[in-house]
Structures are given as C-alpha cells and as structure tokens.
Amino acid sequence: MVLGKNFQRKLEHIDIVLKEDVEGPLTTFFEYVFIPHHASSEIYVDDVNLRMKFLDKIIEAPIIISGMTGGASGTERINELLASIAEELRIAIGVGSERAAIEDSSLEYTFRVVRKVAKTIPVIANIGAAEFVRYDVRSIERAIEIVEADALAIHLNLPQEYTQPEGKASFKGFKEKLVRVKDYLSVPIIIKEVGFGLSYEVAKELNALGIEYFDVAGAGGTNWVKVESFRAVRRGDNVKVMIAQNILEWGIPTAASIIEVRNAAPSAFIIGSGGIRSAYDAIKALRIGADMIGIARPALRMLIEGKLKDYMSAFILSMKALIAMTNSRSISELRLKPVIVTGLLKEWIEGRRLRI
C-alpha cells in the first residue's frame, strides 16, 4: 500500500511541476548580484574553458541536471532521455529519490537506465534523510549500486515533509547516523536541500562531521511546499493546505545560501541550485562561491518540449559568452573579477556577517 502511494506520488509530482505555478514567492536574490561588463574584452567564446573535474571525472561544463524522478512506470523514459543528453554534452546528472527501488526491486529499472546511457559522466544517487536514518548500510549502498553512482545525495526536505499528505517530518538520529555510515560507503556523500537552502550553521556543523560536498538548492525556484499543496488540494486535505499557506515563504534564497555555505565551509565543493533560470544566474552563482550549478525544472520542461539539447547547448555557450564579457577565460579568472551586491542580499550578508 505504501509503495502504491509512492508510485502515484512520483507521477503527480511530474504532472504538477509541469502544469502548475510552483515557483516563489521568494526570489533567488540573484537580482541583487551584478558583474560589470568588460566592453573591450578581446577574449573569444571559444577561448573560454569550462572543463572541470567532478567526482574524479572530467565534464565539459560545471552543470548537473539535478535529480528529479524515477520509481514509477514511465519515469524511466524521462531518466533515459535526460541521461542521453547529459552524456552527449558531458555534464553531470542526478536521479530522483530511490526509495521506491530500494523497497521494491522491480522498480530498479527506472533508475538503472541512467548509467546504462550515461556511461562516462558523474551520476549521483539519491535518498531522503528520513530514509537514510532508518535504512541499514546495505540498503543505503544499494542506492549507489543501482545507478553505479559516483556520489550519494542525501536530501533534506523538512518543509516538504510537513506539507506532504503522507509526509514523515523527522530526521531524528540523522547526524549520528551520518558519522557512523559515511566512511563505510563506497562514494562521497552530498548533502542536498530541495528548495529551501542550506544555512551557515548547517554547513558548518556537517562539514565538521566530514562532509565536503553540498548542494544548496535554495529558495526562488520550484517550491515543494507549493507542489505538495496542490496535491493536498486534490485530496481535500484542508489541514495540509493551510499548513502550506503558513510556511510558503520559508527558506533561504539561493544566492544567500551559496554565500552562507562558502563562508561556513571554505574548502567544500558547492553546487549552486534552486531557481537557476539563465546562464547569467549561473555565472553569478559561480562568482559568489558555487563550484558548479544545478538545473532541474527547466530541463524537464525543455525535455517534454523536445528542446533540451538545444536549451543546454545554448546555456553552455551563453555561459562562455558571459565569462568572456568579464574579460575572463575560465571560472577561476571569473572569480577574481569585481562583483556588486545590492539590496536585500547586501543586507543579508551584513546582517549575517558574511564575506563574499
């Protein structure tokens, strides 16, 4: 019965994310970040090198198609197509929560297809913190084995759990389990939010426990409280709908979260995701502290429209053009260029005593 509900939930999530207004009300705060145009730059787009090493594999651009789906019949086709384009463009890819496949091996194929197609690029496995706490090490390792992953993302999604009709909002024992398990796993752990951001305090605490990879997934993009609110409406669950209305504005905007985590864990690898909607957003994220960026909902929408390859190709070329227009040839040079931070983000940085 539980797995049947999980199966339905996967398909509902895709339907709602594609059809409904599930973004905001918070913004990413990237609108408060400006990088000066260098009008006399003599650097050509082809001179810009975005190639980097991520999880011991070389990718051509600092981009990951963030984990979205799997675990229901039909989702394997989405994962296959996403993985095919990621492999062709040589960027990283993640899968959605693998809980369904861990608890019902007949659904493994919806995830296995990713590595079957994406043979040479980094692939990220994915389970929720609630599952991480209750699974034994063997079950956690299975999530990695199913997709032959290069890392395991553990997603923290408390606001979503609070508003999900069948949610279980308890991560009790998470940090103790993290310390106990992380060195036994075959790949590194990525701590990932799902749209509400990671704070300085969380990154500092988990980095001290040995976590070196963070995906901030901040507020301003897809809001999973909104997504679950739509599901609650369909079920007539008025209490969950009202909870969603009360916490709709909760979260750390993506730009602020990147800066928070970079200050807390200066040597960590940071994925800046959550509302990245343009190449300009991407280079802003890279300039203020991210090592790479993640894209989810826009990739799914472009895939459904049959335009994902063109979208991602244009995105990468636009990143190169923008970096060239800062008079830079690489991300490392971009990080030395001036940046102006204004408005609420400036106040956030000052209020939290952060550095950029």
Helices (H) and strands (E) in the chain, counts: 17, 12
Omega of the bond prior to 159 within 30 degrees of 0, cis? no
Give the pLDDT of the chain (356 residues) as one tens digit per residue.
334 455 577 788 888 988 999 999 999 999 999 999 999 999 999 999 999 999 999 999 999 999 888 888 889 999 999 999 999 999 999 999 999 999 999 999 999 999 999 999 999 999 999 999 999 999 999 999 999 999 999 999 999 999 987 766 679 999 999 999 999 999 999 999 999 999 999 999 999 999 999 999 999 999 999 999 999 999 899 999 999 999 999 999 999 999 999 999 999 999 999 999 999 999 999 999 999 999 999 999 999 999 999 999 999 999 999 999 999 999 999 999 999 999 999 999 999 999 99
Q: Write down the residue that tokens 């826009």 correspond to.
A: 298
Parallel/antiparallel/unpaired status of strands 151-156 and 189-193: parallel
pLDDT value for 166: 79
Spatial CA neighbour of 251 closest among 341, 156, 124: 156
pLDDT value for 137: 95
Q: Which CATH number fits domain 2-351: 3.20.20.70, 3.40.50.1000, 3.30.365.10, 3.40.570.10?
A: 3.20.20.70
pLDDT value for 168: 67
pTM for this entry: 0.95
Parallel/antiparallel/unpaired status of strands 52-54 and 57-59: antiparallel
Which residues does 324 contact at the CB level (< 8 Å), separation at least 6? 41, 43, 44, 45, 47, 48
pLDDT value for 298: 94
Give yes or no for a contact between 100 and 109, defined as CB atoms under 8 angstroms apart. Answer: no
**Residue 211: which H helix or E strand, with range?**
none
Quick one: angle between helices 254-264 and 279-287, nearest 10? 20
Give yes or no for a contact between 244 and 188, defined as CB atoms under 8 angstroms apart. Answer: no
Q: Hey, which bits of 201-253 come out as E strands?
A: 213-215
Which token pair is 155?
A: 């997603």
Task: Count other C-beta atoms under 10 Å from residue 30's C-beta.
Answer: 25
> Residue 64 pairs with which residues in a beta bridge?
92, 294
Locate the domains of the chain by residue range.
Answer: 2-351
Give yes or no for a contact between 189 and 127, defined as CB atoms under 8 angstroms apart. Answer: no
Spatial CA neighbour of 6 closest among 130, 116, 146: 130
pLDDT value for 68: 87
Helices marked H in 90-164: 99-103, 109-117, 129-134, 137-146, 158-163
Can you tell me the distance from the alpha carbon of 71 to that of 27, in angstroms, rounded to the nearest whole number?
Answer: 31
Q: Hey, which bits of the chain come out as E strands?
A: 33-34, 52-54, 57-59, 63-65, 92-94, 123-128, 151-156, 189-193, 213-215, 269-272, 292-295, 340-341
